[in-house]
Structure 1
Amino acid sequence: MENIINLLVDKFIEIEKRTLLVLDQLSDEQVNWSPNEASNSITNLIVHISENIHERISKGINNKDFIRNRDAEFENMYRTKAELKHIFEQSFEELKDTTRNMTETAFLRTQVVRDRERTHLDMLFQCAAHFSEHMGQILYIAKIILDDQYVTTTLPKKKIT
């Protein structure tokens, strides 16, 4: 079980670090830019990830009160880069802390998401995949904006021991 926890936490740390490295390269205006009316801005994507964490982790695992308005996450909105970093860091802190403190019994408990019952372990793996997809979108938007000024966010690989 410890290996699974470490794998998940490492993935969440990677997503958090790479996303924050991208945000550091952008201005307030750039994080709120979207390629067209049908696409999301980095702001939308970060708010969406945060709300997903609140729904599935804060409420679903930690039993905190939370009501989600998913549609609002994709409406036109403006947040500063500093606000986005704060939102992202707070959400990921709870995500990582919750994952680190999970027991085998807790992993096997369930929650209902979109009319489907899932174990907390399944939910955490789904979060890792879902957030990785959105991180890719965030990176791509940054590359479009920054062009040749974009600095890669790829982290050095860990040695396997």
Structure 2
Amino acid sequence: MDISSLIFAQLVGKFEEIRDTLKKGLNQLDDDEVNYRPNYESNTIANLVVHIEGNILQRIGTGIHGYQDERSRENEFSRELYVTKDELLNRIDHSFAFLIESTKKLQYEDLLREIEVRGKPRTIYEVLQQCASHYSEHLGQILYISKICLGSSYKTTSIYKKTF
């Protein structure tokens, strides 16, 4: 396996792992639990999933593919947001399919191409690595809220699986 194949396999594997773990956590919850806010300053699982979706569409759709940016970051964190578990699972499937398929279609030379992110040039490789880190951080928050909601009935999602 050459280095470019290894890089793409690692990125795709990480995105698949995040997607699958998100779904394992959400599948244990009901609609009210995915919209539960531990305190006034905290986000709900729904906020976090909608935020991840918005970030994928902006970083990949706008940044890599050049689509028009239609993201409304403020709405992602609205305290009035209520989304059903099934809708969240659907959003995860669609946004991660877009992310994974976009990553698979990239060529090695694309990884060094620069795009602008928050006014600064970043390589596509840097953007994809940052996405993996960002979504992993929110995954941790989502699983923690899940554990708060479920207590001892929470089933772990952390059984190790090789990602590449």
Aligned pair in 2 of structure 1 residues 149, 42: CA closer, same or farther (>3 Å)? same
Aligned to 2:25: 22
Structure 2 counterpart of 1:120, which letter?
A: I
Q: Share of identical aligned residues, percent?
A: 44
**Pair 1:131 & 2:135 matched:** yes
Query: Which residue, out of 34, 43, 48, partners 2:46?
Result: 43
- Give unmatched runs, 5+ long, in structure 1: none
Residue 150 of structure 2 is aligned to residue 146 of structure 1 = yes
Rounded Cα–Cα distance in structure 2 between residues aligned with 1:84 and 1:55:
18
The ranges of structure 1 where at least 4 consecutive aligned residues each deviate by more than 3 angstroms after the TM superposition are none
Unmatched runs of 5 consecutive residues or more in structure 2: none
Q: Which whole-Å CA distance do the structure 1 matches of 2:163 and 2:12 have between them?
A: 16
Does residue 88 of structure 2 align to residue 84 of structure 1?
Answer: yes
Which whole-Å deviations, capped at 9, do the CAs of 1:49-69 have from their partners, x for residues lacking one?
Answer: 000000000111112222222
Letter in 2 for 1:54: L
Q: Say which SS state the counterpart of residue 64 (structure 2) adopts.
A: coil
Aligned length: 160
96-105 vs 47-56, which moves further: 96-105
Q: Does 1:155 align with 2:159?
A: yes
SS in 1 for 2:115: strand
User: Match for residue 7 of structure 2?
Assistant: 4
What is the match of residue 75 of structure 2?
Answer: 72
Distance in 1 of aligned mates of 2:159 and 2:120 = 35
Residues 18, 155 of structure 1: 8 Å contact kept: no
**Does the CA-based 8 Å contact 1:48-1:74 persist in structure 2?**
yes
Does the 8 A contact of 1:16 with 1:89 survive in 2?
A: yes
Measured in 2, the distance between the counterparts of 1:121 and 1:65 equals 21
Q: Does 2:66 align with 1:54?
A: no
- TM-score, with normalisation over the residues of structure 1? 0.95
Distance, in Å, in 1 between the alignment partners of 2:78 and 2:35 is 12
* Aligned mates of 2:24, 2:7 — CA distance in 1: 26
